[in-house]
Structure 1
Amino acid sequence: MAHEQHQQLLQTLHECMTECNHCYDACLKEDDIKMMAECIRLDRECADICAYLEQAISRGTPFVSELASVCATICEACGDECKKHNHDHCQKCADACYRCAEACRSIA
C-alpha cells in the first residue's frame, strides 16, 4: 500500500487531529468544564486515532481499511458531540471530524 494513493486522506487525518487538539485545549479553558467533559474525552480519542492512522498509512500498514473503519466511527462520535456545543472551536472541530469520517469511510 503506497501511501501516495492516500495523500488526501493523510492531509484530512492531520487536519482532524489538529482541530481536535485545538478543541481539546480550548474546552479545558471553558467556564463550565463539566459540561465539556465528553467533548474533551472524544477530542483526545479522535486526535489519537487520527495520528495513529496517519502513521500507520505512512508505514504501509496492511490494516488500512480496518483502521479507517474504526477511525470513521470515532470521528463521527466526536463530531456529534462537538456539534452540541455552541463554541466556535467545537463547530470547527465537528466539521473536520465529519470530513475525516467521510474520507475514512471511502477506503474502509
Structure 2
Amino acid sequence: MAHEQYKSCIDACVACAQECEHCGDACIGDAKMAECVRTCRDCAELCWTCSGFMSRGSELAAALCRACADACDRCAAECSKHQADHCRRCAEACRRCAEECRKVAA
C-alpha cells in the first residue's frame, strides 16, 4: 500500500504544511514579511498536494517530491532569516520535509 510505503514522507509533508500554514498566517499582517508569507503558502500547498499523491501511489509522486523539496528549501531559507518562534519551527519542519522528499524522489 502506497500510504504505508511513503508514511514517513507523508507525515513530514503534513507536519510541514501545518507549520507553513501557521507561519504564513502569523506573518500576513506585517508588510516586511511578505516574502515569508509567499514562501510559506507555496510550500504548504505543495506539501498538501505531495502527501495526496503519495497516499494514492501516483506515478507522479517522485516528481512532485522533487518540487516539494525545492519549495521546502526555499521556505526554510526564508524563515531562518526571522527570529519569531513560528518561523523557526517552520524552517525546521521544512528541512525535515525536504530530506524525506529527497528520499522519495531518488
Distance 2:28 2:70 in 1: 24
Distance 1:92 1:51 in 2: 18
User: Does residue 35 of structure 2 align to residue 16 of structure 1?
Assistant: no
- Unpaired segments ≥5 residues, structure 1: none
**Counterpart position of 1:90:** 87
Distance 1:106 1:25 in 2: 29
| Runs of 4+ with >3 A deviation | none
**What's the TM-score, normalizing by structure 2?**
0.94
> What root-mean-square deviation, in Å, do the aligned CA atoms of Structure 1 and Structure 2 show?
1.1
2:58 to 46, 57, 61: 61
**Counterpart position of 2:38:** 41
User: Does residue 102 of structure 2 align to residue 105 of structure 1?
Assistant: yes
**Counterpart position of 1:75:** 72
**What's the TM-score, normalizing by structure 1?**
0.93
Distance 1:75 1:87 in 2: 18
Distance 1:90 1:52 in 2: 22
Q: CA deviation at 1:75?
A: 0.4
Q: How many residues align?
A: 105
Distance 1:2 1:106 in 2: 15
Paired residues of 2:6 and 2:104 also in contact (CA < 8 A):
no
Deviations 1:56-91 (A, max 9, x none): 111221012111100000000000000001111001
